[in-house]
Amino acid sequence: MKIWEPVLIGDLRLENRLIMLATHLGYCGEDGKVTDKLVRFYEERARYRPALIVVGGCYTEHLGKSSPTMIGISRDEHIEGLKLLVDSIHSFSLPVAAQLYHAGRYAHSLVLEQQAVSASAVKCRLTRETPRALSLDEIQETITNFSIAAQRAKKAGFDAVEILGSAGYIINQFLAKATNQRTDEYGGDFESRSRFPLEVVSSVRKAVGPKFPILYRMSGEDFVPDGLTLADNQQLAPRLVEAGVNCLDVTGGWHETRVPQITM
The three-point CA angle 167-68-251 to 5° equals: 15
CB 98 within 8 A of CB 55: yes
Which residue in the list 59, 169, 186, 216 is annotated as catalytic? Answer: 169
Active site residue 169: yes
Closest CA to 61 of 107, 28, 26: 107
Map residue 80 onto helix, strand or coil.
helix
> What's the CA gap between 197 and 163, in Å, rounded?
9
CB 156 within 8 A of CB 98: yes
> What's the CA gap between 185 and 33, in Å, rounded?
36
Task: Please name the residues in contact with 246: beta carbons below 8 A apart, sequence gap of 6 or more.
Answer: 9, 10, 160, 213, 214, 215
Active-site annotation, residues: 169
